[in-house]
Structures are given as C-alpha cells and as structure tokens.
Amino acid sequence: MLAALAAGAACAGAWALATRGKAVPPPAPQPFRGLPSVLRRNPVDWYAAVGFLLAAVAPFAAYRFAAWGEVHEALAVLGCFALVLWGLCFLPVLGRLLVRRLPERHRFLAQDAKAGEVYAVRFELESGDWIRIIDEDNPKLVDPVPTTDQMLKLRDGIGKYYGTQSLRPGFFGQSPIGQFSLFAARFKGEPVWVVWPKRWEQALAVARRGGLPAYPVAMVSETGEMVWGYAALDYTDRYLTDPANLHPTVPGLAARPPRPLPAFRADVHGGLFLRLGAALAALVPVLLDVVSGTASAVLGLLAAALLVNAPVAASSANTRLPDPTRWRIPPIQDDRVPGGR
C-alpha cells in the first residue's frame, strides 16, 4: 500500500511539473458556419468528479485503517460515523458534476436557439477580467476583503464596451471560473458572439421580479466553442431593441463548451499538496506497523483531518486567487469613495 501511495504522489508531482505555467493553446482555425442551434450543457469534468470521490472516501479509509482494532470499538465507530457523514455530503456534489443541469434561464435561451432565432452581436474579446470590488457598506478600513467577479470585457463593432459574467461558482463542484478563464485566454483578441434569447422580454420580467438581475447569455466563438454566462440588465437594451441583431441559427449546428484543462498553480494546489503530503507522512508509521493502539488512531485521525481540509482549502483558494496567466487583474475598486480608488 505504501508503494501505491508513493506512486500516486509521484504521478501528482509529474502532473504539476508538466502543467505548471503551461499556456492555453490557441484555437484551431475553422470557418465560421453560423450561429449554432444547439447550445450544449458543460461536459462532465472527470478530473473534478474523481477528485471529489477521493475526497469523500479517503478520510474514512485513512481513519478506519489506522484506528480499527487499535482503540475501543465505540471510539472507532464514532470517528468512522462522522467521516461517513462527510462522505455523504459529496453525493449532491457528484450528482451536479454528472448531471450538469443548466439554470432555468439558460435552458430558456437554449430553447430559443433550437427554435431558430436569437439575438446576437459580434464582439471582439479584449480580455478576461478578475474584478475586485469593496462594497459601499463594507465597514473595514484595514485589509477590507473585496468581493470578486469574473468578466469578459468585449468591444462591439463601433467601439462600445460590454461585459458578461460567468455562472455563479459553487464552493464545491465544477468550476465555471476555470472554464471562463480558459475561454478568455484562448479567444483573447478574437471575435466572439454574445447570444441572448429571442424572448428577452420574458427573461427581463423574471429578472426584475427576483433572483439575479441579469440576462442569460452564451458566448460563442467563430470556431464553435462556447461558455454560459450572465449579462447585466444595464447597457443591453441597445442590442436587444435593434431588429438587425435578430439572427437565425443553423439547424443541427452545435456549439461545444471547452473541455477542462487543469494546470498546476502553486497558490491553489501548493496547499493541497502540502496537506496531502502531511497526511501521507502521518500514515507512514501506521503502514510500517511501528505504532499501535492510541498512537495509531491519533495518526489516523490527523491524516483524516488533513484529507478533509485539503479540498476545502483548494476550492476556497480557487475562488479567491486569480490565475495571472489567464486573467487581467485591474486595481481594486472601492465603491465607498468617489472614483472608486
């Protein structure tokens, strides 16, 4: 077993060395075939699915191996029960990763595309921006924590700017941030189409009644790749009220969301690897059978705690820390003062 764990650690290290700082490949040249009528769900992120499956079962496996038969049965059962509950928390996460259900507004947009007409405008993708804003009601003066958002900064044919945001990231599950950043880096400086539903008035009415005040959109490259997102209600009417922007979609033509392209980042994966390494180090004496009894159970509990904390820390870092190789990071905007600086 120790050899298998060492082999896994070697594979993880090799992946980190192979992907660290790796540039996003440019799009392959393809002729523009028109606006797609099929807007697909995101593909299954098998990297995330396997990772969360391991995160669900590894703490239980580590503790049970180290504690079972070494301490009083009641203590072993209590620890195992808590870790089983931890593992069960991942069932809805894995369900979302495999089912990939779109929000209702985006299913509404997909229906309009399939029906044959959508509103769409061709833009140039100028950059993917990692926006940091200190809200006007933030009371902290020393090290205030800004809220973050991810935006595609777009410029239309007459030079006006427009922005679209990613789907809302969950704390666990497939990361729209990674997909959005991949699309932004791949198509920077390239033409992309922003697609809104033909029945945008209904979407606007629902947005104004409650929930997120935004239109559902799809950003589609001329090579056929796409990402889902939202567009603010402001600055959108100029496109949706122009009949020239109502375009037919091509029957049977499908857009494809980009497949995950995970890459090692020290600020995100460094803490993950550190915790996994510490958990492995805690289990080495148990695997070598040089400890027993309470010491074995304590080391197993330590390893389990580190394995529980590792995905939490990595997921939190991924939502807080931008990848500078994919995002443009403007200065923090402080809404508490005029000028935002």
pLDDT in tens, 92-106: 878 877 887 888 889
Amino acid letter at 120?
A
Distance CA 11, CA 267 (A): 19
Most confident of 1-5, 207-211, 274-278: 274-278
Average model confidence (pLDDT) across the chain = 86
Count the Cβ atoms, other than its own, within 10 Å of residue 238.
Answer: 12
Compare 195 and 170 and report the one with higher pLDDT.
195
What's the sign of the alpha-carbon dihedral 83, 84, 86, 87? positive
Region 271-277: what's the mean pLDDT?
A: 91
Burial (CB < 10 A; 0-12, 13-18, 19+), residue 299, is: buried
Judged against a pLDDT cut of 60, whether residue 135 lies above it is answered with yes
The pTM score is: 0.84
Q: At what angle do helices 266-287 and 46-67 cross, to 10 degrees?
A: 30
Provide the pLDDT confidence category of residue 188 given band limits of 50, 70 and 90: very high
**Confidence at residue 302, expressed as pLDDT on a 0 to 100 scale:** 92
Place of tokens 């990772």: 51
Region 272-285: what's the mean pLDDT?
A: 90
Residues 34-89 have pLDDT tens digits of 999 999 988 887 888 888 888 888 888 888 888 877 767 777 787 888 888 888 88
**Confidence at residue 172, expressed as pLDDT on a 0 to 100 scale:** 44
Dihedral class, residue 262 (left if φ above 0, else alpha if ψ from -120 to 50, else beta): beta
